Homo-oligomer: A and B are copies of this chain.
Amino acid sequence: MPDTRRSWKEVRDRIHQKILSGQVRPGDKLPRDADIAAEMNCARTTVQRAMQDLADSGLVERRRKGGTHVRRDPVTRATLDIPITRNEVEQKGNTYGYQLIGRETLAPPHSVQAAFGQNLPGPMLHVQALHLADARPYILEDRWICLQTAPEILDVDLSETSANEWLVMNKPYDDLTLRFYAEKADEKRATLLGTDPGDALLVIERTTWISGAPITTVKSSTEPGYQLISRS
């Protein structure tokens, strides 16, 4: 085998290597795609793919005309998968349970409006529900659903189907913000989650939009000890 063609992954790894072995330093400009292609004896498209990947993972920055530069503020870029809670529970081998706690149509409080920024969401459905793993409280969700964008939710029997699942299956979103933080369990949440007030809870806030219009925002308080782990 004289000189097997190198895949874009090889090209990527070579450049990756160069960057972090110090041959090329943060802020440095890399050669043009075409030159790298010539040097590595491959097509520009291959270099393009490699560079795209490096750019996606936060290692380099590319600008038309400007060329490709090694980022001077390298970031750790990680991907998280947040599954539907039912699947998450069943994946772990536990039995999934669901319990509706409250449901009411209401004008959203200011904190919820803030989550949506400019676009005022109008009247919303406020749903509180508990997800269970083997009958133990797992995640407590406090959700607001925009009735302008998702009026069909009013016809859904939320004591049967969780809003979580219904929305994921029926209301596609094209924009999403996630927010993670730690919070002390207050009296009410502690009771519902079967833990003690003051316990540290990981909270996940998720807000979704479809073409600019708000769909839903959820504040999920997880059971004590819950961990989020990045994809490899």
Residues of chain B within 8 A (CB-CB) of A171 are: 20
Over the window 12-24 of chain A, the binary record of Cβ atoms lying under 8 Å from chain B Cβ atoms (1 yes, 0 no) is 0000110111100
A179 touches B82 (CB 8 A): no
Sort chain A's interface into a size bin: 35 or more
A224 to B79, CA, bound (A): 24
Would you call A183 an interface residue if the criterion is a C-beta within 8 Å of the partner chain's C-beta atoms?
yes
Chain B residues with CB under 8 Å of A74's CB are 84, 168-169
Copies in the complex: 2
Contact with B along A169-199 (1 / 0, CB 8 A): 1111011111111111000000000000011
- B183 contacts A229, C-beta separation under 8 Å: no
Q: Which of A61-69, A127-135, A200-208 contacts B (4 or more CB under 8 A)?
A: A200-208
Contact (Cβ within 8 A) B230 A178: yes
Residues of chain B within 8 A of A168, CB atoms compared = 74, 76
Contact B181 A228 (CB under 8 A): yes
CB distance from A195 to the nearest CB of B (A): 12
Whether A202 touches B181, Cβ cut-off 8 Å, given contacts A73-B87, A76-B82, A87-B73, is yes
